[in-house]
Amino acid sequence: MNTCYLTLWFVLALVLPLSSSAAAYPTKHIPALYVFGDSLVDCGNNNHLPSGGPSFLPYGIDFMHGKPTGRATNGKTVADFLAIHLGLPLTPPYLGLSNHQRNRVSTGINYASAGSGVLPDTNNDTSLTLDKQIKFFHRTITHNLPKMFTENEELEKHISESLFFVSTGVNDYFHNGTFRGNKSFAFFLLSEITLRVKTMYGLGARKFILNNIPPAGCFPSKAIHTRPIGKCDEKINKAITFYNKKLREVLHELQSNLPGFTFIHADLYGFLKKMRKIGSYYGIVETWKPCCPNTIYGDLKCQPSSVPCPNRNTHLFFDQYHPSEIANKEYAWLCFNEKIICKHWGLKLF
Ligand SMILES: *[C@@H]1O[C@H](CO)[C@@H](O)[C@H](O)[C@H]1NC(C)=O
Ligand SMILES: *[C@@H]1O[C@H](CO)[C@@H](O)[C@H](O)[C@H]1NC(C)=O
Ligand SMILES: *[C@@H]1O[C@H](CO)[C@@H](O)[C@H](O)[C@H]1NC(C)=O
């Protein structure tokens, strides 16, 4: 497999400069993608926890061979589309790799865990907290990567050139089912995410891409309770908007305080709100009901026995919390190609 990729890269290196498709590749080569966060980007880590992940159909129904992987959607996640954009293999879940396999992966690993948040007490009984995810990454640096980068300098260069994708925060807002939306909580959460980004920086990370928090008030789980039904709960969205505004400031502050720190700010919130308005332009005509189950009468939970909508590409949400693959795909397209969802600050990937 590794030889296969090497050969492929060799061939691409020869062919690309001559072909017009070279422009489709990022201007700077990114050697690896490391992913942290929650169910928006988990690709199977929770399958290896006692609580389990969404490892049953119809999750994964549109993923490569139509198999569930633990991704909380019908196909690929935003992290998958990001890897594809970078010309990298999809990141494997850390917990799904044997130590032997971990010693041989130098193109990135996914540590994300559905249910997790920024705070150590958010769903820590059923998911890998962000602290734990960073601990596992630390283990990758100390135990696995040195098997491939024998010189310390080489290893540091690899980490500093790699991309760190962080997508988290929404689960912290819901504590034991209740929404915590005041400003002091937002400031607390911002200081906690800052600490974790600094820890990653301390481990050598320099290139970050951060999602802001999605408009949870528009999730089907919330929109079903509003009147008229399907409207977003703007009280929830307002609190999240406050956090999101400050997040951008926090990232700029980090950049001025930490030498070499670069980032892309990805506006997941703005994207989902925009899709609710103009999704039909992209064929996404159902912008609030989930695809799975394909009814809003009864339990909104997507279960093994649930019948999904026949055409997943017409739905913004796959289940009551998660975007469908088509939404993830449009997100990546608007981020990397149209350049409207994502703004880069010192980190040019497109
Ligand atoms: C897990 O969360 C609970 C509260 O939900 C907290 O009491 C406990 O200290 C947390 N454990 C860790 C390891 O952070
Ligand atoms: C969580 O919510 C349930 C029911 O809503 C309640 O009985 C329980 O005491 C709550 N737990 C905590 C730690 O707040
Ligand atoms: C804000 O929310 C947090 C978490 O829910 C709570 O502990 C705190 O008391 C609240 N503060 C104010 C000023 O309402």
Tell me, using a 6 A CB cutoff, whether residue 184 lines ligand 3: yes
Which ligand minimizes its atom distance to the CA of 177?
Answer: 2
Spell out, as residue ranges, where the chain has pLDDT lower than 70: 1-28, 350
216: nearest Cα among 230, 235, 236, 231: 236
Tell me, using a 6 A CB cutoff, whether residue 124 lines ligand 1: yes
> Rounded distance, CA 331 to CA 333, Å?
5
Which ligand minimizes its atom distance to the CA of 186?
Answer: 3
User: Can you spell out the DSSP letters for 131-164?
Assistant: HHHHHHHHHIIIIIGGGT--SHHHHHHHHHHSEE
Tell me, using a 6 A CB cutoff, whether residue 56 lines ligand 3: no
Which ligand minimizes its atom distance to the CA of 180?
Answer: 3
Which atom of ligand 3 is least distant from the CA of 180?
5
pLDDT in tens, 303-350: 999 999 999 999 999 999 999 999 999 999 999 888 889 998 888 776
Q: Whose CA is nearest to atom 11 of ligand 2?
A: 176
- Residue 297: give the domain boundaries: 3-345
Tell me, using a 6 A CB cutoff, whether residue 126 lines ligand 1: no
- CATH code (residue 165): 3.40.50.1110
Q: Whose CA is nearest to atom 7 of ligand 3?
A: 185
Which atom of ligand 1 is least distant from the CA of 121?
2
Q: Is 275 part of any domain? A: yes
Distance 239 CA to ligand 3 centre (A): 13
With the CA atoms of 79, 175, 57 and 167 taken in that order, what torsion angle do they form, in degrees rounded to the nearest 10?
Answer: 0
Q: Is 350 part of any domain? A: no
- Give the dihedral sign, CA 214/280/342/75: positive
Q: Kindly list the catalytic residues.
A: 39, 319, 322
Q: Is 244 part of any domain? A: yes
Going by DSSP bridges, is the β-strand pair 262-266/342-345 parallel, antiparallel, or unpaired? Answer: antiparallel
Which atom of ligand 3 is least distant from the CA of 183?
1
Q: Is 269 part of any domain? A: yes
pLDDT in tens, 169-207: 999 999 888 999 999 999 999 999 999 999 999 999 999
Distance 172 CA to ligand 1 centre (A): 13
- Ligand 2 contacts (CB < 6 A) are 176-177
Q: How many domains does the chain have?
A: 1
Distance 115 CA to ligand 1 centre (A): 14
72: nearest Cα among 302, 271, 309: 302
Distance 114 CA to ligand 2 centre (A): 21
Q: Is 122 part of any domain? A: yes
Joined together, the tokens standing for residue 341 give: 């969802």
Q: How many CB atoms lie within 10 A of CB 76?
A: 24
Phi, psi angle pair for 228, to nearest 5°: -65, 150
Joined together, the tokens standing for residue 280 give: 């039909």
Distance 44 CA to ligand 1 centre (A): 23
Q: Whose CA is nearest to atom 1 of ligand 1?
A: 121
Tell me, using a 6 A CB cutoff, whether residue 121 lines ligand 1: yes
Which ligand minimizes its atom distance to the CA of 176?
Answer: 2
Q: What share of the chain is helix, strand, coil (3-state, %, to 5)?
A: 45, 10, 45
Distance 175 CA to ligand 2 centre (A): 9
